[in-house]
Chain A
Amino acid sequence: MTADMLYVLWLRQMRRYVRSRSRILGAVGQPILYLLALGYGLGSVFKRAGGGNYIEFLVPGVIVQTILFSSVFWGIQIIWDKQFGFLKETLVAPVSRFTIMLGGVLGGATIAFIQGVLVLVSALVLGFRPDTWALVPVALVVMIVLAVSMACLGTGIASLVNDFQGFQAINNFVVFPMFFLSGALYPLVGIPLLLFAVSAVNPLSYAVDGLRDVLIHQSRFGIGIDLGVLAALTVVLAWFGVFTFSRIEA
């Protein structure tokens, strides 16, 4: 594995990304729509229920949402490459599968991270202010770790299925439930015990919680535990992605 190979695989992702303006707008526009529609729509109810400022509460959630769906989108790119042949070009190259996968994951994660930063910046423009500016770099670390782990997840899912329908099915049954039970859009209090248990083992909960802790000082677990869980998750998902990707046949 050489840095040059990783770079060129990463560069391919970046070139495709900057050339697709609709993708950039779409991926940033949707979370901002959530922020505005839900933020203003449910804000007064949230406040009356004693939850405080809803838009503030929502910002970390929509950042996680953006990173989650952008990273997993890297999996769609793999299926695209499978169906349109480009994957074969990389699979017959005298380069280990691990390098091919890592180059892609780095590209996918970089894009997801950029999208997350764009949403954060948009929120700042809309008036959001973090409680402690000095902690913003920690928020960026949480975002990077989340992006890498979710890009590995996308790789793993895409390696196991051969078409978009299959990917979509797994997306609907794994990624969306993870998102809704992460506390990104509403606080996970007063929910049925079973759902609470699920949310406690849901790794995304820790990403949301971590961001919320460093940005607006609201937390269930604390940033230490959050980062620890996310790091462990990254190791597991990286193994999952490497293992499944190395077994792809074209």
Chain B
Amino acid sequence: MSGLPPPGYLSSTDLIDESGGPVIRRILPAGKDGCQVTAEDVPASAAAIEVRGLMRRFGNLVAVDRIDLGVRHGEVFAFLGPNGAGKSTTIKMLTTLLRPTEGTICLNGRDAVRDPTGARRQFGIVFQDTTVDTELTAYENMELHGVLYGIPRAEMQGRIGSLLELVRLSDRANDYVKTFSGGMVRRLEVARGLLHDPSILFLDEPTIGLDAQTRALLWQHVNEMNDRSGTTVFFSTHYIEEAEMAADRIAVIDHGRIVATGTVQELKERTRAATLEAAYLSLTGTEVREERVTGGEQLRERIRGQRR
């Protein structure tokens, strides 16, 4: 990890990004539990996401195989891998939806397993699939989210209004989500994920099913948030271009293991490849993965198999 500062370079009172850019404002107190472990590549005080030895087993199948990750505050981090590599399972564990079989996860120093509610306060997530209530209006969905995240009533209307404006849904605020197109639902999901101004933003395959315009809009806003508030962004994708375009650093995952982590340049150097795509293929091989089912279905299948 040549491009990273050595441990101890960053202290919690003096967080400066690599380019000497703006001071990252959002600094949260470290939690108790299993979260004091210092990562090799990122000083603990600077780690927004800190994962050690994370493993998840479904029956006999090891979906995620003892991975380590360190994501710094304010970083845009891509989690790149083919379908079925373990991206979604990892994100589900990071966001407290799945319990790890082994390993620790710390989000801003909060242990995601032992203090899930504390960990949940640290992040927002835009899921891969629809998670809005289609029988409610766009505004009602946003409001429900706002209350659950403790946004003061006085600020609620203004914040919802400006976010719906941002994703171009202002004129549909009071329409039922069931009347929305797929792209509109996705935009609403994005707006909702940003409503509580999270310190860490998880995006699970954020641009699947989006047209070029909406994709550009989404990244434009995510980058703005990252610049303005120092929001840490962790996104999974199987699009190489997306990782290359958006991410400061990339972790490549395959068969449940992280095969490489680094900047685009580092990944290219390491594999002596000219393009990121070539580097990626050299890291993950060219064998085509099973694409019969989506990650979610795969997971459900596995869980069902396990219960039988």
Q: Which residues of A contact B (CB under 8 A)?
A: 2, 4-5, 7-9, 12, 15-16, 19-20, 84-96, 162, 249-250
Give A16's nearest chain B residue, CB to CB.
B135
Kindly identify which residue among A9, A19, A88 contacts B97, using a CB–CB cutoff of 8 Å.
Answer: A88
B267 to chain A, nearest CB (A): 30
Binary CB contact string for chain B from 287 to 300 against chain A (1 if under 8 A, 0 otherwise): 00000000000001
From B137-145, B222-230, B273-281, the one touching the partner chain is: B137-145
In the complex, 21 of the A-B residue pairs with CB atoms within 8 angstroms, ordered by the A residue number, are A5-B147, A5-B148, A8-B144, A16-B136, A85-B129, A85-B130, A86-B131, A88-B97, A89-B131, A89-B145, A91-B96, A92-B96, A92-B123, A93-B149, A94-B120, A94-B148, A95-B117, A95-B148, A249-B97, A249-B98, A250-B92
Q: Which residues of A contact B120 (CB under 8 A)?
A: 92-95
Q: Which residues of B contact A (CB under 8 A)?
A: 92, 95-99, 117-118, 120-121, 123, 125, 127, 129-136, 140, 143-145, 147-150, 153, 192, 300, 303-304
Asked whether A89 lies within 8 Å of B147 as measured between CB atoms, the reply is: no
Asked whether B132 lies within 8 Å of A86 as measured between CB atoms, the reply is: yes
Given A15-B135, A92-B95, A96-B117, 10 additional A-B pairs, CB 8 A: A8-B147, A85-B127, A85-B131, A89-B131, A94-B118, A94-B150, A162-B304, A249-B97, A249-B99, A250-B98
Give A20's nearest chain B residue, CB to CB.
B135
Most chain B beta-carbon contacts within 10 A, residue among A2, A9, A89, A162: A89
Asked whether B136 lies within 8 Å of A12 as measured between CB atoms, the reply is: yes
Closest 5 CB pairs of A and B: A85-B131, A93-B148, A94-B120, A8-B147, A94-B121
Asked whether A12 lies within 8 Å of B144 as measured between CB atoms, the reply is: yes
A101 to chain B, nearest CB (A): 14
What is the CA–CA distance of A208 and B25 in the complex, to the nearest angstrom? 62
Asked whether B143 lies within 8 Å of A89 as measured between CB atoms, the reply is: no
A102 to chain B, nearest CB (A): 13
